[in-house]
Every structure is written in C-alpha cells, then in structure tokens.
Structure 1
Amino acid sequence: MALPSSLRALRYYNFRLYFVGQAVSLIGTWMQRLAVSWLVYTITHSAFWLGVVAFAGQIPILLLSPYAGAYVDRHSRYRTLLKTQIASMVQAGLLALIVFINFYNIAAIIFLSVALGIINAFDTPARQSMMIVLVREKTDLPNAIALNSSMVTLARLIGPAAGGILLSSYGEDVCFFLNFISFVAVIGSLLMMKIKVPERTKPKEHIWQNLHAGYQYLKHHNGLRSAILHIALISLLAMPYSTLLPLYAKTVFKGDVTTFSWLNSISGLGALLGAIFMANLKTGRNLLRIIIYATLLFCICLSIFSFNKDFDIALLFIMLAEAGMLAMIAATNTFIQTNVDEKMRGRVISYYVMAFQGMQPIGSLLVGASAHYFTGPHTVLIEGIAGTVVTLCFIPYFKRARKEQPKPIVVLEER
C-alpha cells in the first residue's frame, strides 16, 4: 500500500526504525525534563536556580558543538550516535538512582546536567547528519526532517502529560527510571538497521583545521550564515521562556504540577501543529520566508501570553507560539540540510546546533536572573518583543540570500 505523500520518508526501512526508536526514547526524555524542572523548583523555590540548571545542561553544546561537528565528519555517524545513546542511558540511570536514594542535591543534578550536555553536543550533529543516510533520495529529505519534527513534538505532547500524572502520583524517580528504560528502544533500533559502515580513511588534516574550514565555508554562504545567525539570536532572546514555566504554574496561575504539565503538553500540541504544517509543505516553497512568518507568530503570541492570567486563553497563545517556533526550527533545519555540501554537513550542522541549542543556556541564565530580580511576566514580555525586533531586522538579509542559487548537494554513502 502506497503511503501518503506526507509520510513518504517512512518507506525507507532504516528511517522507520529510527522514527519508532526515537519516538519511544523522546517520550521518556520529556518526562525527565518535566521532572527535573519541577524537582529543582520544589527544592529551591528559585527562578534563578531554574536558569542555572538549564544553563548547566546546555552550555557544553555551545562550547563543544564545532569540535563535535568536525569529529562527526571524521568518524562514523552511526557509531557516534550509538555511543551517545548508550551514554545518555547511563546518565538517566544515575539520575534515577540519586533520586531513588533521596539524595536531593542540587550540585549532583547540575553535574549530571553538564554530563548530558556534553553527550548531546556530539549526539545532535551525528543524529542530524544521519538523516541523509537514512533517507537516500534528496527529494525526500525535507519530508524526513518534517516527520522527525512531528515525532519530536508528539513526544513533547505525550511525555509531559504522562510525566505530570506519574510525577504527582509516584514521584520524580519513576519518571527518571522510565526514561532510562526508554533508551532500550532507540539503541535496539540502531542495532537493527541495515547500514554499511566502512572504516573512514584517517584524515591528514588536524581536526581544528577541519573546524576552521567549516567556519570559512559559512562565511561564503550568505543564506546558511543568515539562517544560523537568526536562530542563534532567537535561541538567546526568546526560546528560553520555557525555563520559567514552573514559576508560571505556581505563582501566576496559582497551580501545581498538573498546571505545569498542562503548560508543557499544550506547548507540545502547538509544536505538533507546526510540524504537521511543515510535513505537508510542498517542495520548492520559500523556506526563508516561512522562517520569518513563523518566528513573528512565535514572538507576538509569546508577548501576549506573558501577562495573561486567564489560564485557558494563556494555553491558546502558548500553543500558537509553539506552533510558530517549531515551524521556524524545522524550516531552518530543512534549509540548511538541503543547501549544504555533503563534505561539510557535520561541521555546518554543528554550527547550527551551537546556534540553536548552545545559545539557549546563556538565555536561560539571563531569564532566570531577570525573573528573580523582576518578575516572570516582565521577562517573557521582553523576550517576545526582542525576538520580534530581531526577526524584522533579518528580512533584508533573507531577501538577499533568496537571490542566491544554492549549489546542489551530492548524497553519499555513510562512511
């Protein structure tokens, strides 16, 4: 039976395995994220410490991503991904253990958050670079990226909802343990894949020369450079608002862990809507224009959400904001993946990861400090306005980049 065009990437055996394994694992990951945020806020009652823990978990990505991208280009993406998933499973197990034995120590949580950040610095460029191997035809790559985004956001919808129930009924340790178990699915799917992994020839250049080559490549590609700089600024100024959701749940909406779970789940629903939109996008659409419109939707709705004390209306605007944010992320990722030379894929994706995920820890630290000394709603309002201004400033750069004809990329075998 032929698959609908919106699901066409699932006809590839390896991508199907990846899709199912990641879906199960990511549900566990979102359960853990929810539990960590709630645990930190329950222990400290401080927005500042929420920012510190978020900073600790993501700052390694900013510092290590360029090196990690060069590493991925020099080694097997498949084997790198397998190792990072095993390491993530160990991290989740240790987190479950310290909570199970009632070792509620903020320093231990920060240490394990840093460890996970180091793992993710290598995991993300390896995972993103694998996409071109899992889906052999370049024409199906945008659909694979969109389906991957849909899977991630579906997990983001289910994970917090399930996590909220488990958290209120059984506690944080159950959420952490189930995340530990969920890695069996993704590791098993990787082992079942039919991918030839020949040994890479040892490069003559030093890895830092490879890293510099990636930087020089971006300097001469206006479209890629503009897309990465744009998402870097949005990641710094607007995306870290989610750090303050526990504060909103307790102080703005006067709720509990169920309120926090609703905020996260509705955010996931909005992101899923954005992913569905991208999955049904026709080939040849102007991705740079979609990035602009989607970011404006995200930032404007975020500004409206900031001071809204009606919970139902707040959920509506946070859902629309997340739909815009997901569409922006997926459009940026698709634009980069379809316009980068294959030999530079790992390095360019690492700069994208550094911009997307690496700038968020700095933003989280600033957001936590701002909400600690001022208020959460004032901080989120400033984030929404700042993101809107940045996006409007990038319109001329995107128009200029649109006039450039991207060079075709060559799809190669995994090496």
Structure 2
Amino acid sequence: MRVTTFAAFRHRNYRLFFVGQLISMMGTWMQQTAIGWLIYQLTGSKLLLGTVQAIGGLPTFFLSTVGGAVADRFPKRAVLVLTQSVMMLAAFALGVLVSTGQIRVWQVAALTAMRGAVMAFDMPVRQAFVVDMVGRDDLMDAVGLNSSLVSGARIVGPAVAGLVMGRFGTAPCFYANAASFLAVIGGLVAMRLTPSPRMVSPESVLRHAVGGFVEVRRNPRVLGLMAILLTVGIFGWSYSVLLPVFARDVLGIAEQRYGLLLAANGVGALLGSLVIASLGDYPHWERLVTGGVFLFGVCLVLFSWTTRFHLALLFLALAGLGMISFHSTANTVIQTSVPDAVRGRVMGVWAMVFVGTHPLGSLLAGILAEHFGASLTVSMSASICVLVAVGVSLARKKGNGALRPNVTGSAGTAGQES
C-alpha cells in the first residue's frame, strides 16, 4: 500500500477537525507557556513548579484507561464536545482569577487537575476518533498531520504568549485559550457522520477498560513501544517542566525569549511531523522510533549545559524533531496494530503511559532540580533516554523488527461515528 502525502485532507470531517484543532492547540500552548511562568513567578520554587505540574497530570494517569473504555462505548463526537466545553470553562476561570488579582497556587493546581481529569477522557477519544474520520488507509498520513498541527501550534502559541505576557501579563493567554475551544466545538458540530452500531457490553466501564491492558500485554510490538513511552514520559519530559527555570536562572531571559524557547521546540517538531507524513510506506519504522529517541536525548543533554540563547534554540529545535519522529511513529504503529474494537481502550493505556507518567517525571524533576540544579537534572534524565534508545536498537538488530506497523487489519470506516 502506498500512502499519499496529505491524503487525509480528502475527508471533509478531517478538514474540519484539523482546522479546529490547529486553532485550539495554539490557545493550549499559550496557556501552557503562561502557566509555567505564572507558577514560577508566584513561588520562585523549582519544587512547587514540578509539584503543580504533577498534580495536573495525576488524574490523566488514573482515569485515562476509563476514558479509553468510554471511547469504545459512546459516540466520540458527543464526548469530545463535552470535554472541550469543560476545558474552555477551566481556562476562562484561570483568566478571571489572574486578571482580578485573586490567583493563588492552590487554585492553579486545582484547575490544572480538573483539566487533567477531562484530558483523561478527551485524549483517547480524540486519538480513536481519527480513524473514524479517515479510515485505516489514510491513518498514517492523518497521524503525521495531527503531529504537524500540534507542532505548528507549538511555534505560534508560545511565541505569541511570550509577547503578550511581556506586555499585558498572563491573563490574556488564558482568555485566548478559552476562546480557541469554540473552533473545535464548531468543527465537531459541523461534521457529517454516519451513525454506527453502539458497542453493547454487559461489563461495567471499569471492567471493560481492562481489555486495553489485555490487548497491550498480548501484543509484543505494542508492549515494547509502551515501555519506551514510559521511559520518555518519566525522564524525557522533565526539561519542559524546568524551562521557566532555564529561562530566568540559566539563560537570563524574559517572557518574550522564554516563548521563543518553546517555539523553537515546535519548529523542529513541525519539520519532523511533515517528514513523517510524507514517508508513506517507509519500510524501517523501527529506525524512526529509536533514532528519534536518541536524537531527542542527545540534544537535551547539549541544551542542559549551554548558557547561550541561540544554541539553546538550536538544541531544542533538534530535540523537537527527534521527539515527534518517535511520537508520531509510535502512535501510528500502536493504532494500526490493534483491532478496531479495542483501539479506544489501547489509546487509553497510551495516554496513561505517555501523558499520565508526566506527574512522576515532573515531581522527580522538581525535587532533583531543587537539590542539584536544573542543568544536571535534565542532563541525567535525557541520558537515560539515550541509553534506552541504544539498548532497544541493539536488541532490534538481534531480533526480527517487531516494531513495524501492521496496516492489514480490519478497516475502520471513515466517516462513522463510533
């Protein structure tokens, strides 16, 4: 099978989804940029910076498998409209609290935790919804395009946030994020979806969710990828939590340039996602997984020890390229390696492993940075990612390339609401 670049845009529903997500993701990255700066501004504590981020991710860890079961049992569009609406209200509440001068760290933590709980349902549903819009044949292209829109938003959102924060403070970033959810909700409502039979299960949602773990355990390819995701989730993402520390204490820069640090990461990720989307049936997906993690880790080690702003931009851009090469490939392999009936639950496990482990990584990064400094913390964490990439690569050469995606399974029907 040959995958045509940008073939997913043939589907009207996916075009609506893409535009809405692009606008919303820019708002999300504006909020992410502002929230880290706000916490460090309020507390000046690396430990609290990591702790608040950890609190925000804990609900995702505990609830994402339930969210995956919801994805397999209920209409995905209806669930997404609900989750997006709740996150819009949470962002608006943050804006009001900041602009009225009433904001406290515990309020940031509570609203971040609320968003994390909603994301536990939103993420697996949104991931599983893609194949419903485009079908299996165009799934790899759609995953690459989804990564490109996130990466593009990571360029624009933080850069705009840095400019806005420098001039008006953090509150407008939260208001902008709240408004951006309207684009997603409007796109979802405008979709024309063919109803499909609902999955009827005599099991409870919690028991039904266990099916995701069963499928991951029985599939060596998916299990191996989840193990790598676990490592990157705990150790690889520590740098993002500590970026405000690097900006103020290591590089000595203000809000505008802090936004550019995040934007640089997005530039590399955008380039990588466009390359992934154009590769089609590239036969060596395993190399994209291990090579991506290796590049990601090495560049973060280099970033952690530089005190020059322009070198920091370069290393973060290359780290973004490596990260998205790994992430997009892993996402595609996992989705195309499992049956349609359990995809939502498997993506719930994916959300738990990749996103839900961020709390542990964030807390660990905050504790280590408090005692050993941000540079040594990121350097050690990134080195673990490098060692894992090398180890998996060596093991793969002795094995049979079990990470390659399987796109010959039962085809999902594009345009169905399931």
Pick the TM interval, shorter chain. over 0.9
1:374, 1:214 → 2: CA distance?
Answer: 39
1:403, 1:152 → 2: CA distance?
Answer: 28
Say whether 1:129 aligns with 2:128. yes
Displacement, 1:202? 3.5
Displacement, 1:347? 0.7
Structure 1 runs of 4+ with >6 Å offset: none
Q: Which amino acid aligns with 2:77?
A: Y
Out of 216, 230, 233, the position equivalent to 2:228 is 230
Displacement, 1:394? 2.4
CA contact (8 A) 1:131 1:144 kept: yes
Displacement, 1:404? 8.2
> Cα 1:41–1:222, aligned 2, differ >3 Å: closer, same or farther?
same
Identity %: 33
**67-76 or 222-231: which moved more?**
67-76
Q: Give the corresponding residue for 2:274.
A: 276
Pairwise CA RMSD:
1.7
Q: Give the corresponding residue for 1:207.
A: 205
Say whether 1:334 aligns with 2:335. no
Displacement, 1:6? 2.3
Structure 1 residue runs without a partner (length 5+): none
Displacement, 1:392? 2.2
Displacement, 1:396? 5.4
Out of 354, 357, 366, the position equivalent to 2:355 is 357
2:417, 2:13 → 1: CA distance?
Answer: 13
Say whether 1:153 aligns with 2:154. no
Matches within 5 A, 1:370-389: 370-389=368-387
Displacement, 1:321? 0.9
Matches within 5 A, 1:74-93: 74-93=73-92
Alignment partner of 1:139: what SS? coil
1:17-61 deviations in Å (ceiling 9; x for gaps): 000011111111111111111111111111111101211111111
Alignment partner of 2:389: what SS? helix
Displacement, 1:8? 1.6
2:177, 2:121 → 1: CA distance?
Answer: 20
Say whether 1:169 aligns with 2:170. no
Matches within 5 A, 1:54-203: 54-136=53-135, 138-198=136-196, 200=198, 202-203=200-201
> Cα 1:404–1:31, aligned 2, differ >3 Å: closer, same or farther?
closer
Matches within 5 A, 1:302-341: 302-341=300-339
Q: Which amino acid aligns with 1:51?
A: G
TM-score, normalising length: structure 2: 0.95
1:25, 1:57 → 2: CA distance?
Answer: 19
Say whether 1:248 aligns with 2:246. yes
Displacement, 1:401? 6.1
CA contact (8 A) 1:77 1:130 kept: yes
CA contact (8 A) 1:25 1:183 kept: yes
Displacement, 1:199? 6.1
1:207, 1:104 → 2: CA distance?
Answer: 37
Q: Which amino acid aligns with 1:41?
A: Y
1:269-316 deviations in Å (ceiling 9; x for gaps): 111111111111121432222100111000011111111112211211
Alignment partner of 1:204: what SS? coil
Q: Which amino acid aligns with 1:291?
A: V
CA contact (8 A) 2:212 2:348 kept: no
Q: Which amino acid aligns with 1:197?
A: P
1:249, 1:294 → 2: CA distance?
Answer: 25
2:199, 2:70 → 1: CA distance?
Answer: 13
2:13, 2:308 → 1: CA distance?
Answer: 45
Structure 2 residue runs without a partner (length 5+): none
Q: Give the corresponding residue for 1:414.
A: 417
Report the number of matched residues.
411
TM-score, normalising length: structure 1: 0.95
Displacement, 1:355? 1.0
CA contact (8 A) 2:92 2:174 kept: yes
1:269, 1:134 → 2: CA distance?
Answer: 27
CA contact (8 A) 1:28 1:180 kept: yes
CA contact (8 A) 2:301 2:383 kept: yes
